[in-house]
Amino acid sequence: MENSVLDLIGNTPLVKLTRFDTGLCDLYLKLEDRNPGGSIKDRIALSMITHAEKTGLIGSGSVLVEATAGNTGLGLTLVASVKGYRLVLVIPDKMSREKIIHLRAMGAEVIVTRSDVNKGHPEYYQDMAERIASETPGSYYINQFGNPANPLAHETTTGPELFRQLRGNIDTVVCGIGSSGTMTGLTHYFQAVKPDVEIVIADPAGSVIKDYVTRGSYGDAGSWSVEGIGEDFIPPIADFSMVKTAYTVSDQESFSAARDLLRKEGILAGSSSGTLLAAALRYCREQTIKKNVVSFVCDTGNKYLTKMYDDSWLLENNFQVS
């Protein structure tokens, strides 16, 4: 028996896909939707708040402030509620209603801002969160995009779990980049235990990450509907040293892949998981030798039932229904 819901974070199952064409490769998904908050972000939420406590940055009465696409906010709300902290979250308006309703139900103070502006604009979600923190007495801006306790969560938990679950027989990890914590933490772990592991990036069309990986530079970001991954800047904590390649994946391909995952394998995954799956399948089919490839179900599709799993929403937003 666990002492708290926080003890249930991590140690998520790994499942092999059997009904997709993966070429010569075996493709596995780590089911991060099985975390108590429903996403991989529970790991970093616990790590960042615990680290802030241990280093004296927060204590009784502190107000936590963060900018989030939703899942980090859900993880932070879970941890903050158990530990007794007030939490203020700033969220772009393109995020699903399910996430916002869930956050408010758990007790977070949610501020919804514009998603059509870039970094440097006063209504950009990260800039707004930082400003709110600076104006709120007793507050702490968590800043997942620059907080070293973010990748540390994956270096100390996600990486070792994958290595153990595949008995060290892991060749490639496919992940997305939001804050870059997953990629950076796994990079730090595998550099130490298996430096020949390749990291492959799945990037939504419109994000600047793929251009940065392939060209070392990037221009203005576009827009995309997939939630939680893709960026218009390079996060300060990002470590690309083990990245082999990157794939651009359209919203349509992401949504179709996620819906196929539900129909073929019975896994109800979120929109970013569709992006990862589409890129992982492309990578697998390109290989000329057998590899063990791992990716993630980053969060549960329950948060997107009124969006990519709703045929009417897809048609209204000019996506094909498949």
Active site residue 119: no
Among candidate residues 30, 41, 291, 303, the one labeled active-site is: 41
CA of residue 198 relative to chain centroid, distance = 19
Question: Helix 97-105 crosses helix 71-83 at what angle (to 10 degrees)?
Answer: 10
- Beta-carbon contacts of 43 under 8 Å, excluding residues fewer than 6 positions away, are 9, 10, 35, 75, 153, 154, 157, 158
Q: Within 13 Å and on the Cβ side, how many CA atoms surround 156?
A: 12
The answer to whether the CB of 185 falls within 8 A of the CB of 192 is no
- Give the C-alpha separation, 234 to 236, whole Å: 6
The answer to whether the CB of 224 falls within 8 A of the CB of 292 is no
DSSP state of 44: H
The first and second tokens of residue 228, run together, are: 């939680």
- Give the C-alpha separation, 146 to 148, whole Å: 6
The CA dihedral of 46, 51, 56, 58, to the nearest 10 degrees, is -30
The answer to whether the CB of 174 falls within 8 A of the CB of 245 is no
The CA dihedral of 125, 126, 132, 133, to the nearest 10 degrees, is 150
The first and second tokens of residue 193, run together, are: 């235990």
Within 10 Å of residue 160's Cβ, how many Cβ atoms?
Answer: 14
H-run or E-run covering 278: helix 271-286
Separation in Å, CA 191 to CA 183, 185, 199? 12, 10, 11
- Give the C-alpha separation, 322 to 320, whole Å: 6
Catalytic residues: 41
